[in-house]
Amino acid sequence: MKALVIKEMRLSASVLSYILICSAFLALCPGYPILCSAFFTTLGIFHSFQNAREANDIVFSALLPVAKSTVVKGKYLFSVMIEAAAFLVMTILTLLRMTVLSEVPVYRLNALMNANPFFLGMTLLIFGLFNLIFIGGFFKTAYVFSKPFLTYIIIAFLTLSIAEALHHFPGLEALNAFGFDHIILQISLLLAGAILFILLTFVSYRKSCERFERIDL
């Protein structure tokens, strides 16, 4: 398994997957929909799947002396590693905004989503949706990826738009808390996002294994 993951990282991966981890720094941008940082991270992973398809990587991997489910597992592990790296950067920057930068006027006057645990929870939800819709959709054929990625784009930006709008509704202002205000609610929302990420990724992985076993390469 370790060798397969190394193969994913060194041979199959597009350099954009690593470069777009830096999109996590958008969490510091005021006046910008910072949840787009999660989308750009997944865009980098998409380019790795595109790169792998053009290089016939799936067929090559299936010819290795490993189970077909292990090939699927390698793709998911690589994707989750990229997502985890971006999430770690976002978490550090969010903590910076919640502490040192919590009273900076440019953030206080920002009408868009604030960097807080709710933002991190929504980031995990978008990652989970990517794993479910795009990666799960890709393994229906192990070749076609345009339709599942388009579906993911539509759902991701609907989710992003709703998340950005929620704190403008009466009674939901706590979703856009600054610093450690409403921290119990904020941590609860982060945990909910983490649970959804795990569930969506696990369901997608199991379905992908079943689908890939049935594909005649």
- Note the pLDDT of residue 135: 96
Place of tokens 């999109």: 23
Q: Which of 66, 19, 82, 22 is nearest to 212 (CA)?
A: 66
pLDDT at 10: 79
Dihedral pair phi/psi, residue 111, rounded to 5°:
-80, -10
| pLDDT at 154 > cutoff 80 | yes
* 86, burial (CB in 10 Å: exposed 0-12, middle 13-18, buried 19+): buried
pLDDT of residue 67: 80
Q: Give the pLDDT score at 217.
A: 61
177 Rama class: left (phi>0) / alpha (psi -120 to 50) / beta: beta
Between CA 68 and CA 155 the distance in angstroms is: 29
Classify 33 in phi/psi space as left (phi over 0), alpha (psi -120 to 50) or beta. Answer: beta
Other beta carbons less than 10 A from residue 209's beta carbon: 18
> What pLDDT score does 11 carry?
76
pLDDT score, position 216: 67
- pLDDT digits 0-9 by tens, 57-73: 777 777 777 788 888 99
Helices (H) and strands (E) in the chain, counts: 10, 0
- Distance, CA of 176 to CA of 114 (rounded, Å): 6
From the list 105, 98, 89, the residue with the least C-alpha distance to 183 is: 98
Q: Over the stretch 106-133, which tens digit does the pLDDT of each residue have?
A: 998 888 999 999 999 999 999 999 999 9
Residue 139 carries which DSSP code?
Answer: T
pLDDT level of residue 96 (50, 70, 90 thresholds): very high
Q: What percent of the chain has pLDDT over 90?
A: 73
**pLDDT at 159 exceeding the cut of 90:** yes
Q: State yes or no: pLDDT of 147 exceeds 90.
A: yes
pLDDT greater than 80 at residue 182 = yes
Share of the chain above pLDDT 70, in %: 99
pLDDT recorded at residue 56: 80
User: Between the CA of residue 194 and those of 39, 61, 84, 183, 191, what are the distances in Å?
Assistant: 17, 30, 11, 16, 5
Question: Residues with Cβ < 8 Å from 19, sequence gap 6 or more?
Answer: 44
Is the pLDDT assigned to residue 43 strictly greater than 70?
yes
| Angle between helix 146-166 and helix 36-54 axes, rounded to 10 deg | 170
Predicted local confidence at residue 40, as pLDDT: 97
Task: Determine contact, residues 108/178, Cβ cutoff 8 Å.
Answer: yes
